[in-house]
Amino acid sequence: APAPAPAPAPAPAPAPAPAPAAAAAPVAPPAPPAPPPAPVSEKVTFAADAFYDVGKSVLKPEAKAKLDDLVSKTAGVNLEVIIAVGHTDSDGSDSYNQKLSVARSESVKTYLVSKGIEANRVYTEGKGEASPVADNKTKEGKTKNRRVEIEVVGTRTRK
């Protein structure tokens, strides 16, 4: 009689199975990808020349238009964070460029907040001339290095 009990045990096994199922559960969650509205992260880089006059941190009208477009694109997103990072070329001192890059990222934040983005969702950072994407020895390179990178992180809410 004990031997037949183990044979029917597969039917009762679902009761003990929760322990193995729990072990299998870590594998299972990735299998049902129904829950995740997966986080979307989109990084947009804007040329600072289009955003600011040289040596300035006041947003130009065309910068505001681009930021308006960015804000409209966040409509279908459950926003987690927006990160604005300012960069400069190598003209000027390190400390001047650091301050300028921070001021530029702060001007982006101020504008986004004025358009309804929650202030506590917008982080700013200035990299000064520390992260060039091109050679600072050429005019073209310097132009590419004067930029603001804006990263939007959130989850799509569209159904």
Express each pLDDT in 33-61 by its tens digit: 555 556 667 677 676 667 888 888 999 99
Percent of the chain at pLDDT > 90 equals: 47
Tokens linked to 25:
């559960």
Name the pTM for this structure.
Answer: 0.70
| Spans of all domains in the chain | 1-35, 39-156
Tell me the per-residue pLDDT of 56-91, one tens digit each, with 9 for 90 and over. 899 999 999 999 998 988 887 888 999 999 999 999
CATH no. for 39-156: 3.30.1330.60
Q: Residue 112 CB: number of other CB atoms within 10 A? A: 22
**Contacting residues for 70 by C-beta, under 8 A, at least 6 apart:** 44, 112, 150, 152
For residues 138 and 16, the model is more confident at: 138
For 68, 96, 104, the CA distances from 53, given in Å and listed in that order, are 19, 15, 11
